[in-house]
Amino acid sequence: MPFRARWTGEATATFEELQAAAVRAARNRAGRGKRKSSKAEGLFEQVEKCVRLLLEDPRHPGLQTHEFTSIDHSYESKGAKVFEAYVQNRTPGAYRLFWCYGPAKGELTIIAITPHPCCGSSPNSRP
């Protein structure tokens, strides 16, 4: 049974930023006559695929979905679960998608799309 998506403001903003970056990169690439997709285009493609797979089947093996305990559930009482799905794997600062069931039956709420908190690179990190 496919699910319907609900998006938080944060998740919508991130999705739109990634999409805009991919569109700009594609235009620049086409203008220079290059064929290979940019990192921005590849990342947005991966995010889109993750959302599509999540809505089709939240337990899809490629998503490696598991409970994530550091974020509170948007709609349910304490103890309700938030899940993490892999957008990327084996990549420095690999992107993750955080989601929960609800608020209505047959809906999933996409809470955030972000680089993994423990794996992201920061300006202050040392090589």
CA angle 40, 46, 50 (to 5 degrees): 145
With respect to residue 51, please indicate whether it lies within any of the assigned structural domains. Answer: yes
| Number of separate domains in the chain | 1
In a domain, 125, yes or no: no
pLDDT for 107 equals: 93
* Summary mean pLDDT of the chain: 85
Whether 120 is in a domain gets the answer no
Q: What are the Cα distances from residue 23, in Å, to 9, 12, 29, 45, 51?
A: 21, 16, 10, 11, 18
Query: In terms of C-beta density within 10 A (0-12 exposed, 13-18 middle, 19 or more buried), how is residue 47 classed?
Result: buried
Weakest mean pLDDT among 20-29, 48-57, 69-78, 90-99: 69-78
| Spatial distance between the Cα atoms of 57 and 33, rounded to a whole number of angstroms | 38
pLDDT over 80 at 110, yes or no: yes
Q: How confident is the model at residue 2 (pLDDT cuts 50, 70, 90)?
A: very high
Neighbouring residues of 17: CB distance < 8 A, sequence distance ≥ 6: none
Q: In CATH, what number is assigned to the domain containing residue 43?
A: 3.30.2310.20
pLDDT in tens, 55-75: 999 999 999 999 887 766 555
Q: What is the pLDDT at residue 117?
A: 64
Asked whether residue 61 is assigned to any structural domain, the reply reads yes
Judge if the upstream peptide bond of residue 92 is cis by omega within 30 degrees of 0: no
> At residue 39, what is the residue type?
K
Cβ–Cβ contacts within 10 Å for residue 31, how many?
Answer: 8
Residue 117, H or E segment: none
Does residue 76 surpass a pLDDT of 60?
no
What range does the domain containing 85 cover?
Answer: 4-115
